[in-house]
Amino acid sequence: MDWQLLFLSFGTIFLSELGDKSQLATLSLSGSSTAPRFVFIGSAAALLLASSIGVFLGDSISVLLPTRLLKAIAAALFAIMAMRLFMEDTNAE
């Protein structure tokens, strides 16, 4: 088992999910629910499913495309999203 990769992926996902809209939705649901345990199970299952789709899709695509190209595509998509968010923020002022 590659412990370094395990802790790197855990840390990355944990930090990126802090304060995310899914966490805020979970907080809201658990606050208005009489069974927060089921809210936890549902939200954990949803995150697990979404992560599983990402892992399996990424693994499948990596067979077709080189890793370096995948990283470049991901970087470009993040840059595009960042620029769109930046433009929306400046247009609101």
**Pairwise CA distance, residues 70 & 57, whole Å:** 12
The domain locations on the chain are 3-92
Average pLDDT score over the chain: 87
Q: First and final CA of the chain: distance in angstroms?
A: 50
Given pLDDT bands bounded at 50, 70 and 90, which one contains residue 70?
A: confident
Measured from the Cβ of residue 27, the count of other Cβ atoms closer than 10 Å reads 13
Q: Which amino acid is at 10?
A: F
Model pTM above 0.85: no
